Amino acid sequence: MAILKDLTVGFYKIPLPSVLSDSTHGEIKAFELVTIRARDADGAEGTGYTYTVGRNGGAIADILSREIREIALGMEADDTEQLWHRVWWALHYGGRGGPAVLALSALDIALWDLKARRAPLPVWRLLGGFDRRVPCYAGGIDLDLPLDGLLKQTDDNLARGFRAIKMKVGRPSLASDVARVKAMRSHLGDEFPLMADANMKWTVEEAIRAARALQPFDLTWLEEPTIPDDVAGHARILQAGGVPIAAGENLRSLWEFKPYIAGGALSYAEPDVTNCGGVTSFMKIARLAEAFNIPVTSHGAHDITVHLLAACPNRSYLEAHGFGLDRYIANPLVLEQGMAIAPDRPGHGITFDWKGLDRLSAG
């Protein structure tokens, strides 16, 4: 029996090596990292985390320390499904999203890491195993970079081994967006996988106009063209814009993905394991997408998500995020010819530099 004995929560503010920018969040100078270490009665430990782009990290850490600790301690750690539902429904009235589900996501990741370490297996094999080589793209957060800076960032990513690139759109001028995408397409060449992300910037009509203007540049997808609350709007953009649509990083549960997937509102399902309910929820979303013949991609937390996509036959691209967490991880993501390689270490294989993180404690 792997009785859950202790939970240790960490809260850190991670400065970024360079300022990032998108159409909704503006300049991002740091991100918040919330970690949880789950230990069982035998002394085995699993690690989970979630993050924000600058706000509400304290609320997430408090929910983990104050609420989830009381709910989860003493339960069987291997019963990830039971623990997930126990926490979800205990927090439902005052949660059902927001900081509560980010906290649940971190706990669930830690429990799957613990379960896999006890196995001992890498998470991707414990989840069924499909293919440890996962196509991977570099997710630029680069809306305000001048064009020469955007192209230099792209060249740096190509030199690092990426063979697919995502850029930001949603500038005040659509003509400026179109010119930048055109320049990127010219720089990368025909058929090179290129994605664009609007970060919910547009109305439905603006998004349709933008999608039509971007049609000539053969985007792999246009991401989050409008607010996540508008399922019908996404369906209209997909139907009228003529460009594949990716969405989901701001959806917080399997049930929020259901109308998107069943309603023909996206081309690529894009959950984030750190905010959709963790590994348990991510895999259900991926299986639901598979039933509708829809590929699943990812947002953020690439060191964890590489395991999940490596277990999905309908996997598409893994996003490698630009938050700079690699500085505090012993074995960062490995790329080979544009493919991310899911590690064979037991668990998810992430080992944090806890001493280094302690210097950035925000709690």
| β-bridge pairing 45-52 and 26-40 | antiparallel
CA distance 96 to 17: 34
Torsion of CA 122, 126, 127, 129, to 10 degrees: 70
Instruction: Mark residue 150 as left, alpha or beta (left: phi above 0; alpha: psi -120 to 50; beta: remaining).
Output: alpha
Question: SS3 of 77, please?
Answer: coil
Measure CA 3 to chain center: 29
Structure tokens at 18: 């360079």
Residue 168 appears among annotated catalytic residues:
yes
Q: What is the Cα–Cα distance from 330 to 310, expressed in whole angstroms?
A: 21
Catalytic residue among 115, 166, 168, 321: 168
**Kind and range of the H or E element at 14?**
strand 4-22
CA distance 300 to 111: 19
Catalytic option among 166, 201, 234, 299 = 299
| Residue 355 annotated as catalytic | no
Q: How far is CA 301 from CA 42, 170, 212, 282, in A?
A: 28, 24, 31, 12
Residue 72 tokens read as 């989860």
Structure tokens belonging to residue 245: 């649509």
Tell me the two tokens of residue 214: 């971007």
Which residues are known catalytic residues?
168, 299
